[in-house]
Structure 1
Amino acid sequence: MDEKTDIGELTFSKPMSFDGEEYACLDPLSFNVRYGPYAFKIKNVLAYMVPIKSQYHRLLFPEVEKQMELLPGSRPFGNSIRKAYLCNAQIRTIKPGSNILFYRSGDQNGISVMGVVEDTFISSSPN
């Protein structure tokens, strides 16, 4: 839904609410693209927990941390909406639309961030 202002600037918006029919008929990824990041489809959707050590959690999710730096956001890889997660996990069946719960381990044990899988890529090569 894009519109133009009186001076020709584009404005972009998303719907912030949905009804039961929209929740039921959209697949999990389409639902998140349309209504996220504020809404997640969780009913009948697979979820996976990803443990992250606290030192890496601080880098990947700076928005969750208390601001201690004068200039926050000095690490650009931590300030994106989309993130790539690389791992050597045994599971190979994570599907688009699945929910991912990031579990912070170490200093503050608990789920701190939730995300939705857009795509998976399985490779045996580091390149």
Structure 2
Amino acid sequence: MTSLNKFSNLMASSGVSLDTLGIRDIGLARENALRAVEILRHENLSILGGDVYIRRGDRLEVAHANWYADPKPDEGREAYLHRSWDKAETYIKSFPEVADAEVLFAIVVEKAPGADIRPTARLKDWLPLLG
């Protein structure tokens, strides 16, 4: 199984739809978000940033928290890739737990070569392409 298939399977099996918030995206619990970072690292796809959501039972809330990793001027591709993965991993690991709730992370990824999706694609956009 390729890494992108693993990524697609992770999204399909573990992702939480954010549609009830009017957001066409998928959130992942902390451990699954960290797995997603590792898969994207293996595929050499940058993580452009992400948003945080809170799930309390069946209710979803916007956490009003996010991170981003824009390329710096004169930063090489390899350096940017490593910085984007490290920043995502650090942010996800260090985001505080929320009492009586689950923290979800929606990750914004670089588009895969040959994929016909916008450069700041959300994870949900990958599912039809990777399945």
> Structure 1 or 2: larger helix share?
2
Normalized against structure 1, the TM-score is what? 0.29
Looking at secondary structure, tell me which structure has more strand per residue.
2
- Higher RCO (C-alpha 8 Å, min separation 6): 2
